[in-house]
Amino acid sequence: MRKICFIAGLILLGACNKYDIPGLFVASSPSSDKRFEASVAYNDAEGYPSVVIPTEDYTFYAATDIHVYHSTRNLDKFIADLSADTGSAPFWINLGDIVDGKDQMKVFDEHVKAAPQRMFGTPGNHDLYFGQWKQWQELYHTSSYWFEALLPSGAKDLYLCLDSAGSTLGHRQRAWAEEVLTAARGEYRHIIVFTHTHFFRKDWSQETTSNWSQEETMALTGLFSRCGVSMVLTGHDHFQERTTYMGVQYAVLQSLKDGTPDPGYTRCEVGDQITLTLVPIDIP
Strand ranges (E), 151-220: 156-161, 190-194
Q: Give the whole-angstrom CA distance, residue 178 versus residue 73.
A: 39
- Model-level pTM? 0.91
**Residue 3 confidence (pLDDT):** 46
- The kind and range of the H/E element at 74 are helix 73-83
Ranges in the chain, pLDDT < 50: 2-14, 24-26
Q: What type of residue is 1?
A: M
**Residue 206 confidence (pLDDT):** 55
Q: Give the whole-angstrom CA distance, residue 173 versus residue 43.
A: 13
Q: What is the pLDDT of residues 241-284, one digit of tens each?
A: 999 999 999 999 999 999 998 999 999 999 999 999 999 997 76
- The full DSSP string for 45-69 is HH---EEE-SSSSEEEEEEB---BB
**Residue 89 confidence (pLDDT):** 85
**Residue 215 confidence (pLDDT):** 93
Q: Give the whole-angstrom CA distance, residue 35 versus residue 140.
A: 13
**Residue 13 confidence (pLDDT):** 40
